[in-house]
Amino acid sequence: MGIEPGDLYFFLPRIFSVFGDTSGREMLELGNQQNRFGDRCAGKNFFRTLCFNHTMVDINGEDGSINKDLREPEQWTEWKERFDVVTNFGTTEHVEPNDKQWEAWKIIHDVTKPGGLMCHAIPMDTPKWAGHCSVYYSEGFFTSLAQACGYHHGGYTQVREHNVCVLQKVKSADFPVDRETILKWCILK
């Protein structure tokens, strides 16, 4: 899906409000995303200009990404509560089979520090995105996730047919949501 300017206009003020200076903050980018503006460089190049210690993961291992799989929680244990910011610019909807959604959302929870932000910009279930993936999420998904996990809900909007949301992990805790519930909250195609 890539990184759209409208998504950043929503995320960046929230990130700066929580952290102020981002120098030395740890950021994890899910998927090797490309900017959809300017020089269309890899997302890591943009986020490094903001002085984040940036890590990018993708199962394809391209563009300097580390090869990790969002279906395999055991690959992520060394990063438990490491990241101040985790971005999901259209990655989790590609985690298949659908019942592996639980692993992806558990990993995001587990790698985010208490006080850290989870920034999601993922396609809406609209004709524009028909056939893009087999899993979509609604505003209700994020509200339910925040309530179940005790996250602070930092805001939700829709930007160019993307669901855009910021959640803040409040405390260190195991991921409390079971597989069946995650799947119930998803829009499965």
Q: What is the pLDDT of residues 106-154, one digit of tens each?
A: 999 999 999 999 999 999 998 888 888 999 999 999 999 999 999 999 9
Query: Can you tell me which residue has the tokens 């524009």?
Result: 128
Label residue 65 by pLDDT band (50, 70, 90): confident
The 3-state secondary structure of the chain, one letter per residue: CCECHHHHHHHHHHHHHHHCCCCCCEEEEECCCEECCCCCCEHHHHHHHCCCEEEEECCCCCCCCECCCCCCHHHHHHHCCCEEEEEECCCHHHCCCHHHHHHHHHHHHHHEEEEEEEEEEEECCCHHHCCCCCEECCHHHHHHHHHHHCCEEEEEEEECCEEEEEEECCCCCCCCCCHHHHHHHCEEC
Q: How far is 2 from 34, CA to CA, in rounded Å?
A: 5
Omega before residue 114 within 30° of 0, cis = no
Quick one: average pLDDT of 28-37? 77
Label residue 71 by pLDDT band (50, 70, 90): very high
Q: What is the pLDDT of residues 150-179, one digit of tens each?
A: 999 999 999 988 999 999 999 999 999 999
pLDDT mean across residues, the chain: 91
Give yes or no for residue 44 having a pLDDT over 80: no
More confident residue, 60 or 79: 79
Give yes or no for residue 34 having a pLDDT over 70: no
